[in-house]
Structure 1
């Protein structure tokens, strides 16, 4: 039985994957590195800011240290809020779905986004008080596809629900790395086809696939996971 819901953020709640790509490209160009959207989609989407910058620089044969990565993240963060202040796009039914589910389950977020970016959007949607726990880029020990972020989200939810187990948690993810991360943590994973097609999400281990957040109703959840154990 599902007893908690954990959402990814970018590509699930806020429709800003293209914004992040544009900003990654902008900062990397300042560092003398060019990436295409296909590069980002196929190789780097799902990483947090540090992971993306590190892997791109490695692939480009450039050396880096923690100071260089921190500077790149800071510059991208400044630009993100400049863009966000001009208006972010949110996926249809995101606010209503989270508001409705939060009345029935504890709801958490595990994302590679910076905490300030997550809180900014939640406040814009009027959802900050509906979220029981947030694991952001600054909190996670390692980025997706490593499962540690979801393990940390479970630990945070256990502060008020000590009986909660990983198999009781349903994760909503748009990326292949996110699905792998959730399954690695022993949770049930629902892929949403807002970034990758259903067949790729299923091959990555998704227990179920949806096309939109409005499909996440209590009857659907109960029927889908009535006899499913996390595999």
Structure 2
């Protein structure tokens, strides 16, 4: 049953969108750009840092070069880390599920977050030792819904367990973009309604939708494996 598990990070394991919003504000305020909480949740949620900065600047009528975008991303990094150390939240049941899935097979994280943010969050959850592979923003050239990150993770699973295992790796996601990335490669995907409503996620190609990550139980996984005919 599901030989490997690939977790998204933000919105699945850690509840840190409030941290990201404040870090974006820290960097953009000196440029005279304001980002409301409503705009962040409606327009920028689900982007990686590069995509979010591009969208925010475009909406503000600003143009920027790739070098300037890189500078903004690097400027945001310490703001995120400082705020995360003070107020990072995790989802109940997240650490337990990572531990359970690691006992069943290899576990990876596929995220548009920066590597040091992921490392910090996994350490905060006390599950870093259970995660064998991290695919972060530094490893990809395109963010979700592009499937590049999951393609990299599948290659890692294939090296560990073979191509058939890679094709049946379980993905845990929270956003339509992430679900689309996983399903583009045919990967089975469970969506958790941490960031979007269950109704919104039900309209995606997710194979199952649950309210919280704590609802992903062994019984659910057994039933999903059977339903998919795997």
Name the TM-score, length of structure 1 as normaliser.
0.93
Aligned residue runs from structure 1 range 199-218, under 5 A: 199-218=199-218
Deviation string, structure 1 residues 99-120 (Cα, Å, up to 9, x no partner): 1111012111001110011111
**What is the alpha-carbon distance in structure 1 between the residues aligned to residue 127 and residue 208 of structure 2?**
26
**What is the alpha-carbon distance in structure 1 between the residues aligned to residue 31 and residue 204 of structure 2?**
33
**Cα RMSD over matched residues?**
1.7
Using the TM superposition, give the Cα deviation of residue 166 of structure 1 relative to its aligned residue in structure 2, in angstroms.
5.0
For residue 41 of structure 2, what is the aligned residue in structure 1? 41
Paired residues of 1:166 and 1:185 also in contact (CA < 8 A): no
Deviation string, structure 1 residues 120-160 (Cα, Å, up to 9, x no partner): 12122221121121100101221011111111111122221
Secondary structure in structure 2 of the residue aligned to 1:64: coil
For residue 30 of structure 2, what is the aligned residue in structure 1? 30
Secondary structure in structure 2 of the residue aligned to 1:85: helix
**What is the alpha-carbon distance in structure 2 between the residues aligned to residue 148 and residue 229 of structure 1?**
26
Deviation string, structure 1 residues 53-101 (Cα, Å, up to 9, x no partner): 0122122221111221111111111111111222421110111111111
Q: Structure 2 vs 1, CA of residues 185 and 30 (structure 1 numbering), >3 Å: closer, same or farther?
A: farther
**What is the alpha-carbon distance in structure 2 between the residues aligned to residue 45 and residue 164 of structure 1?**
33
**What is the alpha-carbon distance in structure 1 between the residues aligned to residue 116 and residue 134 of structure 2?**
11
Using the TM superposition, give the Cα deviation of residue 229 of structure 1 relative to its aligned residue in structure 2, in angstroms.
6.5
For residue 220 of structure 2, what is the aligned residue in structure 1? 220
**What is the alpha-carbon distance in structure 1 between the residues aligned to residue 104 and residue 68 of structure 2?**
44
Name the TM-score, length of structure 2 as normaliser.
0.93
How many residue pairs align between the two structures? Answer: 230
Comparing 15-24 with 25-34, greater Cα deviation is found at 25-34
**What is the alpha-carbon distance in structure 2 between the residues aligned to residue 143 and residue 229 of structure 1?**
30
Secondary structure in structure 1 of the residue aligned to 2:160: coil
Using the TM superposition, give the Cα deviation of residue 165 of structure 1 relative to its aligned residue in structure 2, in angstroms.
4.8
| 2:182 is aligned with 1:172 | no
For residue 138 of structure 1, what is the aligned residue in structure 2? 138
Structure 2 unaligned regions, length at least 5: none
| 2:37 is aligned with 1:53 | no
Structure 1 unaligned regions, length at least 5: none
Deviation string, structure 1 residues 19-44 (Cα, Å, up to 9, x no partner): 11121233222222222222222222
| 2:196 is aligned with 1:160 | no
For residue 94 of structure 1, what is the aligned residue in structure 2? 94
Paired residues of 2:7 and 2:110 also in contact (CA < 8 A): yes
**What is the alpha-carbon distance in structure 2 between the residues aligned to residue 66 and residue 141 of structure 1?**
13
**What is the alpha-carbon distance in structure 2 between the residues aligned to residue 44 and residue 155 of structure 1?**
29
